[in-house]
Amino acid sequence: MSVASEQEAYPVAQFRKTYFEECAELLDALQSNLELLSSGQEDDETLHAIFRSVHSIKGGAGAFGCTDLVAFSHTFESLLDALRDHKIAVTNDIKQLLLRASDALADIVNAARLEQQLAPSFAVDIRTAMQHVLQGAGPAAEPGPAPAASDAKPLHEQTYRIRFRPHTEMLKKANEPLLLIRQLRKLGALAIDVDCSALPALGALDPEAAYFNWTFTLETAVPRSGIQDVFEFVEDDCDLQIELLESATAAVEVAPGDAGSAAAPVVAAVSLAQSIRVDVDKVDRLVNLVGELVISQAMLTEQGLALPADKYPQLIQGIEALAQSARELQESVMAIRAQPVKSVFARMPRIVRELAAVLGKEVRIVTSGEMTEIDKTVIEQLNDPLTHMIRNALDHGIEPPAERLAAGKPRQGTINLSAAQRSGRIVIEVSDDGRGINRDKVLAKARARGLVPAGANLSDDDIDNLIFLPAFSTAEVISNISGRGVGMDVVKRNVQALGGRISVRSRFGHGSSFTLSLPLTLAVVDGMVVSVGRETFIIPLVAIVENLRPLPADIHPVVGRGHVLALRGEYLPLVYLHRVFSIGDAIGDPCRGIVIIVQSESAGRVGIVVDELLGQQQVVVKSLEANYEPVDGISGATILGNGRVALILDVARLHEIDMRGTPERLPSPEQSRPESAKDLTHAA
């Protein structure tokens, strides 16, 4: 391949990649709006939003030769256009057809992206069904009062003047004005006036720049929204005005004081938020650089503390300004990486529909908190765990309609999928109103497989957590859905690999709830630096409620449970950090040390006993798994301003670890406990 042909091929490949990235976003928006439509939100704006998604996918497909995608999306678009014009009523059958068409469209887009050939019969039944609906649609009903002057369906042809001024760089984005003109001609009689006044001399001409401006006069029965759709792909790269000429509401300039006496101008001036696409690798490199900057700033701050303020006032002031700028930069960069979980949640309704049809069950999924944001590196790993849990709820949890009716439940089961931020983490919950966990059956199966000793006495929580054991399944029949003992153990491993936890609550006959607790970001956290003996730890600031030095009268022993702290009428369990990690030379008396009250989503409020508070600091999180190995109770490591490595505590796990060895029955350091913090620090 010649250099010239390589240069030509690269933009095409880049534009193709960008198109399919946009398709992913459009499909998510399509699915979300179809869910709104299914839930009863049948207003025109929802239909317009659905139409725009399909229209945008179709518009770019032709440029890359995706003929199957163009053909299917054209039929889909025609059906949606008939719905927008109220030629077809939005019935439940139509809603189901739209959902099936959306699923098929997603598969066709994915096949086109991977350059795979679908079977000739793929989605033929869906396309045929849409065509039959279109053939049966009569003319639009006589309109009553128009819902909106600009969007109402005209009763006759009207004349529009369209002023189209491309920005200089429009042609560089593979936008061709000739294609726009062809689309306008399809709408009605078109007259064209070209302004060539901006065309430079031949020697100064840039072959990739746009110099012409156009004024179109269009006679059409299509509403203004249909004209705007023609320019949808170039809205950000042009100045566009659409004026209605043959109407009392023709575009006029209205002075501020005449707003009450003159008709509002009917001019569609496109002004959308500007955005750019950036490769994820570039953002990741930027995050890493910011992390190193934060570490360097922390080291400078540490050194600045040793300088006399009266001799170096400007230097110290500069270090403080650097710290503030580094924090703002870090927050801005992390905001770039944050994404709403909606992109993952939007895929779940299709899984529910398809699997429910296979299992012969009636199930709906209800989502909430979709706009909760989380780091992109975390969100990319959420799809598989959520898919496993949704399938598990459908297969094992939700009963068939007849069984639900016999149990006094509605025929249709419900799966709730929610996300929320709590204590600096994101908590995702998958719950259902199905059978719940049959603990007798689970325990019997576990004992039969030798996973539990015959004489073991397990609590309800212990039995529920048996489902996370490898090779465990309660399914009686092996199928392509369940029965092979893979699924929930994979979910647990994937969640733990992200520094998260998973727990389950169940009530037999009433349903189960699985909760995932994940870090909001894997890059930077604000933390409280604490010392225990000669070791240094970081406690995430968002988990801290308060710090205090209790009085001896506030500390009470509890048999088999260690000590509790009496605080304003509440008794909080105490966790001695030096006992959890077998650290010597630490202060064992909480009345001489410091008790840090933290909020845990699993154990509520807990007091962590440390020796001393060393200060608050923003720290860059380094993976302990990548540099050493996973350590229970530790979520990561960081480099402090003095160059030492400090471990970041997983506060929710500390209480659970401590309960395995209370002060009355703590194992000795040589027994099976987490290795000493000193050894971990040197290893990390």
pLDDT, tens only, 79-93: 888 888 888 888 888
Residue 12 predicted with pLDDT over 90:
no
What is the mean predicted confidence (pLDDT) over 535-541? 88
Q: What is the pLDDT of residue 631?
A: 80
Amino acid in the structure at residue 577:
L
Token digits of residue 292? 């190193």
Distances (CA, A) of 234 to 47, 123, 195, 564, 650: 22, 31, 19, 65, 49
Q: What is the pLDDT of residue 424?
A: 63
Token digits of residue 149? 């002057």
Amino acid in the structure at residue 333:
V
- The band of 532, judged by pLDDT with boundaries at 50, 70 and 90, is very high
Four-residue CA torsion sign, 22, 23, 25, 26: positive
pLDDT, tens only, 226-239: 788 788 778 878 88
What is the mean predicted confidence (pLDDT) over 457-471? 79
Average pLDDT over all residues of the chain: 77
- Which homologous superfamily does the CATH classification assign to the domain defined by 524-683? SH3 Domains (2.30.30.40)
What is the mean predicted confidence (pLDDT) over 621-641? 76
- Which homologous superfamily does the CATH classification assign to the domain defined by 158-254? ACT domain (3.30.70.260)
Q: What is the pLDDT of residue 140?
A: 38
Q: Is the pTM of this model over 0.75?
A: no
- The long-range contacts involving 108-117, CB below 8 angstroms and separated by at least 24 positions, are 108/68, 108/69, 108/72, 108/73, 109/20, 109/23, 109/27, 109/57, 109/69, 111/68, 112/20, 112/61, 112/64, 112/66, 112/68, 112/69, 113/20, 113/23
Report which secondary-structure segment, H or E, holds 215.
strand 213-220
DSSP state of 320: H
Report the C-alpha gap between 487 and 468 in whole angstroms: 8
What is the mean predicted confidence (pLDDT) over 346-357? 85
- The band of 246, judged by pLDDT with boundaries at 50, 70 and 90, is low
Report which secondary-structure segment, H or E, holds 179.
helix 177-185
Q: What is the pLDDT of residue 522?
A: 59
The residues near 526 (Cβ < 8 Å, ≥ 6 apart) are 540, 541, 542, 616, 617, 618, 619
Stretch among 196-200, 314-318, 380-384 having the lowest mean pLDDT: 380-384
Residue entry with tokens 């703590």 = 666
Contact 620, 294 (CB under 8 A): yes
- The band of 495, judged by pLDDT with boundaries at 50, 70 and 90, is confident
Q: What is the pLDDT of residue 442?
A: 84
Q: What is the pLDDT of residue 523?
A: 66
Residue 537 predicted with pLDDT over 90:
yes
Instruction: Domain ranges for the chain, please list them.
Output: 11-136, 158-254, 280-339, 341-519, 524-683
The residues near 104 (Cβ < 8 Å, ≥ 6 apart) are 72, 122, 123, 126
- The band of 139, judged by pLDDT with boundaries at 50, 70 and 90, is very low
Q: What is the pLDDT of residue 338?
A: 78
Q: What is the pLDDT of residue 259?
A: 39
DSSP state of 605: E
- The band of 156, judged by pLDDT with boundaries at 50, 70 and 90, is low
DSSP state of 341: T
Closest CA to 580 of 556, 559, 610: 610
Q: What is the pLDDT of residue 610?
A: 93
The answer as to CATH 1.20.1090.10 being correct for domain 11-136 is no
Stretch among 191-200, 305-314, 366-375, 629-638 having the lowest mean pLDDT: 629-638
pLDDT, tens only, 105-121: 988 988 888 888 888 88
Distances (CA, A) of 370 to 9, 23, 381: 38, 19, 16
Q: What is the pLDDT of residue 163?
A: 92
Closest CA to 499 of 373, 383, 626: 626
DSSP secondary structure, 517-535, as one string: EEES-SSEEEEEEEEETTE
Distances (CA, A) of 75 to 98, 137, 271: 11, 14, 30
Q: What is the pLDDT of residue 416?
A: 92
What is the mean predicted confidence (pLDDT) over 507-512? 88
Q: What is the pLDDT of residue 659?
A: 73
Under DSSP, is residue 162 helix (H, G, I), strand (E, B) or coil? strand
- The band of 95, judged by pLDDT with boundaries at 50, 70 and 90, is confident
Four-residue CA torsion sign, 404, 407, 409, 414: negative
- The band of 268, judged by pLDDT with boundaries at 50, 70 and 90, is very low
Q: What is the pLDDT of residue 549?
A: 92
Q: What is the pLDDT of residue 520?
A: 67
The share of the chain scoring above pLDDT 90, in percent, equals 8
- The band of 466, judged by pLDDT with boundaries at 50, 70 and 90, is confident
The residues near 200 (Cβ < 8 Å, ≥ 6 apart) are 211
Residue 609 predicted with pLDDT over 90:
yes
- The band of 274, judged by pLDDT with boundaries at 50, 70 and 90, is low
Residue 5 predicted with pLDDT over 50:
no
Q: What is the pLDDT of residue 151?
A: 42
Residue entry with tokens 């397990």 = 458
Q: What is the pLDDT of residue 481?
A: 53
Residue 530 predicted with pLDDT over 90:
yes
Q: What is the pLDDT of residue 596?
A: 92
pLDDT, tens only, 58-67: 877 777 778 8
Token digits of residue 546? 């308060």
Q: What is the pLDDT of residue 471?
A: 62
The share of the chain scoring above pLDDT 70, in percent, equals 82
Q: What is the pLDDT of residue 682?
A: 40
Closest CA to 22 of 66, 59, 47, 48: 59
- The band of 472, judged by pLDDT with boundaries at 50, 70 and 90, is low
DSSP state of 171: G
The residues near 186 (Cβ < 8 Å, ≥ 6 apart) are none
Residue 385 predicted with pLDDT over 70:
yes
Q: What is the pLDDT of residue 288?
A: 77
Q: What is the pLDDT of residue 521?
A: 63
Tell me the backbone φ, ψ of residue 544, rounded to 5 degrees: -85, 130
Stretch among 482-491, 608-617, 643-652, 653-662 having the lowest mean pLDDT: 482-491
Stretch among 148-162, 296-310, 332-346, 509-523 having the lowest mean pLDDT: 148-162
At the top level of CATH, which class does the domain 341-519 belong to? alpha beta
Residue 19 predicted with pLDDT over 60:
yes
pLDDT, tens only, 645-677: 888 888 877 877 877 654 333 333 333 333 333
DSSP state of 629: -
Contact 627, 549 (CB under 8 A): no
